A and B are shown apart, each in its own frame.
Chain A
């Protein structure tokens, strides 16, 4: 599909991270003055691709051409100088600076010898905001602004350079409907001036409203590029999912015990509201939803890492109010975060020490650690979960991702919690280790424990969960009981992106 007016041409881009190929032979062409939507599941590679385009990452293979000339940006600044601006998903603002200083960060209007011309900066910022049609005090510190206002500062920052390509990475995530209209107006204005906009979103309504063309990414590969007006929603969703469910999932639970945990109308800070569900002994409750849907926030709230503002949380029939994760642990909860490195393993410490760290009191005798007992228990765990290591003294950071995850599982299993909350149980893990982790989780439920599993991998959610909660915008959009009727990826995706998907046999059991 060679186009004469291609502004940007990506050819065969490949990017690998340790243990995962984030982008695999991705080719993409962008026309001048088009709005090009980039869609795909979480982890499909959208953000990685944009980070390569904007000079944050460098590709391992493939080339980028801008206006016909090959380019390789080493820094975001170089990309910006060449006319490619990006609005990052995580805001690129200095929180202690005011609006003006953020908009013109590193492009401060100056006079002689770097003397800042604050008045000019202020005026230009006001003009930019006026152009978008927004009123905002340019002297306010960014950390006093709401998320939406910060987003606007971000947009103004990107617009302050004359960009020929503007990348928006999920700009709508925090916007209300009215603000979204405004954003679309801005995009149309830009387009009429010849700017190419790359719009990343998983809100399909937005994609169909604003995009000229749509490219679908999946597992780091391009599924296809289509004109938006020639594409139906159902087709698009099928392009986004449509993976065959691999058959390494153990069978669903056969018993369903008493209610271990119950949330009644839980809410926190307006970011989570009306969360009501029950968790039974012996079941795995899957939680699906896009990034920002509140699925991880829900986990953190259950564990006392976020305050509960409204509603009630009952654990084993008792009303609980956790002030921290220690309270939650004492009440029988265990938690494995999705950030294995930052919130999981103790990297340089030994395997055995990592396993016993959450149950150290059990290894104390007269104030001394019983190292021999610790070692023998650790060895038993290594054996039981078939953790592959040179010995129990090996530093955990030198294990593979899968084995690190097994160490975390054994750490918590050793504590014998009744309720396990696990986020992204198999992120960055190879298929073999995945199957073993699934087996371990099922063993736990067979022993009468309950598991809440948050995952962005739909096949995993479907393969492992007895029931699935789908979240969007901080609320539960629907509950699917897989013992009644198995869920489909399309069905879960529809709930997660807020689109009624028409397909015969897609049973939906909304609300509770």
Chain B
């Protein structure tokens, strides 16, 4: 029985084809282009914005999206859940101005879990394909937020805004929060039984089933976890935005999918990493940023985003065949 010496000695350029490496490389190249293209890019204020403030909200949501995609599903409702939850948080504050921020956060985590459970139950219980199920709940949640709060609700107190603006020992709290979340989720995916099962179910539901993995329960848990992460994202976004409204989560569903896919998460399920997804989030953030710095027309930005997505995904597609 020969053990493959071939796999051990991969030439360096073959290693680059690994999406986990490739995506960071793309980011570095993109950064180099940005530095060359605009002197404003390296301004401390801009760097803080690009790396510390902007990516956190989308990053948290994208982690949830990655978990779901790895398990073989997809979640199109993320953006509208973020909008709905931020509105409800702001609404809570309006009704009870003296609530402790922790209560609001806990409230949002529970609501996020509830939203995720609804998605999970539709996919698992009613056997609706994930794309259709979450397309429907996207409409459901977006409609609910427009009905509840057609306009932005402000008035989030300073104490709550600690989540986005505060710092502990000079380290921004948002960074601590994100590091803790990605660490926990990364642990769950790589070192915990549940994560192993998420990958297995996404890679091959049939094999998972005959190996005794409760496939439907794992699928449900993926949506539930995603919901909780979206709850965290909502808590952060409410603080950053200083309120809630129907536009807070706009674009998150597609941006989170884009980030995951750019980061090497396979839409077919069973493959991908959270760090890669985070790199995808940074790439998207840097991309938007440089477009703004260069004053590219907002609509043209959307066109370019589509083009970049095609290039990025086709890059991965070639390797697979």
Q: Which residues of A contact B (CB under 8 A)?
A: 54, 56, 75-78, 80-81, 88, 92-97, 101, 105-106, 108, 110, 113-116, 118, 134-137, 140-141, 144, 149, 152
Contact = CB atoms under 8 A, between A and B. Distances in A.
Q: Give the residue among A76, A81, A97, A134 with the most B Cβ atoms within 10 A.
A: A97
Contact of A94 (B3, B7, B194, B203): B203
10 contacts: A54-B210, A94-B199, A94-B203, A96-B270, A105-B213, A106-B208, A106-B211, A110-B193, A113-B192, A114-B193
Interface string B216-232: 00000000000000000
Contacts of B4: 137, 140, 144
Given A93-B207, A97-B199, A106 B212 contact: yes
A137 B196 CA distance: 20
B171 interface: no
Contacts, number: 78
A92 B200 contact: no
Interface string B177-212: 000000000000001111011011001100111111
Contacts of A81: 212
Nearest to A55: B210
Contacts of A101: 196
A92 B196 contact: no
Given A94-B200, A94-B203, A114 B194 contact: yes
B47 interface: no
Nearest to B271: A96
Nearest to A148: B1
Given A105-B200, A149-B1, A92 B192 contact: no
Contact of A95 (B194, B204, B209, B212): B204
A95 B211 contact: no
A95 B268 CA distance: 14
A93 B207 CA distance: 6
B191 A115 contact: yes
Given A115-B192, A115-B193, A134-B1, 10 more contacts: A75-B212, A76-B211, A77-B213, A94-B208, A108-B196, A114-B194, A115-B191, A118-B191, A136-B1, A152-B1
B212 A144 contact: no
B118 to A, nearest CB: 25
A116 B193 CA distance: 6
Given A76-B209, A77-B211, A94-B200, A114 B1 contact: no
Contacts of B209: 75-76
Given A77-B212, A88-B210, A106-B211, A97 B3 contact: no
A92 B7 contact: no
Nearest to A75: B212
A451 B263 CA distance: 50
Contact of B1 (A56, A96, A97, A135): A135
Contact of A97 (B194, B203, B212): B203
A92 B1 contact: no
Nearest to A109: B193
Interface residues of B, number: 23
B1 A95 contact: no
A92 B3 contact: no
Q: Give the residue among B197, B200, B210 with the most A Cβ atoms within 10 A.
A: B210
Q: Give the residue among A93, A106, A135 with the most B Cβ atoms within 10 A.
A: A106
B236 to A, nearest CB: 26
Contacts of A149: 1
Given A94-B203, A105-B200, A116-B193, A56 B3 contact: no
B107 to A, nearest CB: 26
A96 B211 contact: no
Interface in B219-251: none
Contacts of A114: 192-194
B3 A136 contact: yes
B191 A92 contact: no
A116 B3 contact: no
A116 B192 contact: yes
A99 to B, nearest CB: 10
Contacts of A134: 1
B211 A92 contact: yes
A140 B212 contact: no
Interface in B1-15: 1, 3-4, 7
B1 A140 contact: no
A225 to B, nearest CB: 28
B195 to A, nearest CB: 8
Given A97-B199, A114-B194, A115-B191, A105 B211 contact: yes
B1 A94 contact: no
B203 A106 contact: no
A240 B4 CA distance: 42
B1 A106 contact: no
A409 B207 CA distance: 35
Nearest to B188: A114
A177 B271 CA distance: 36
Contacts of A93: 207
A135 B212 contact: no
Contacts of A115: 191-193
Given A136-B3, A137-B4, A76 B210 contact: yes
A105 B196 CA distance: 8
Contacts of B197: 106
Contacts of A152: 1
A98 B219 CA distance: 22
Contacts of B203: 94-97
Report the 4 A-B pairs with minimum CB-CB distance, sorted nearest first: A77-B212, A114-B193, A137-B3, A76-B210
Q: Give the residue among B3, B194, B203 with the most A Cβ atoms within 10 A.
A: B3
A97 B213 CA distance: 15
A122 to B, nearest CB: 14
Contacts of A135: 1, 3
A77 B210 CA distance: 7
B7 A140 contact: yes
Contact of B210 (A56, A95, A96): A56
A149 B4 CA distance: 11
A75 B208 CA distance: 11
Q: Give the residue among B194, B199, B200 with the most A Cβ atoms within 10 A.
A: B200
Contacts of B271: 96
Interface string B75-91: 00000000000000000
Interface in B267-284: 270-271
A58 to B, nearest CB: 14
B94 to A, nearest CB: 39
Q: Give the residue among A56, A80, A92, A113 with the most B Cβ atoms within 10 A.
A: A92
Contacts of A54: 210
Contacts of A137: 3-4
Q: Give the residue among B7, B193, B211, B271 with the most A Cβ atoms within 10 A.
A: B211
A134 B1 CA distance: 7
A134 to B, nearest CB: 6
B105 to A, nearest CB: 23
Nearest to A114: B193
Contact of B7 (A80, A96, A144): A144
A174 to B, nearest CB: 14
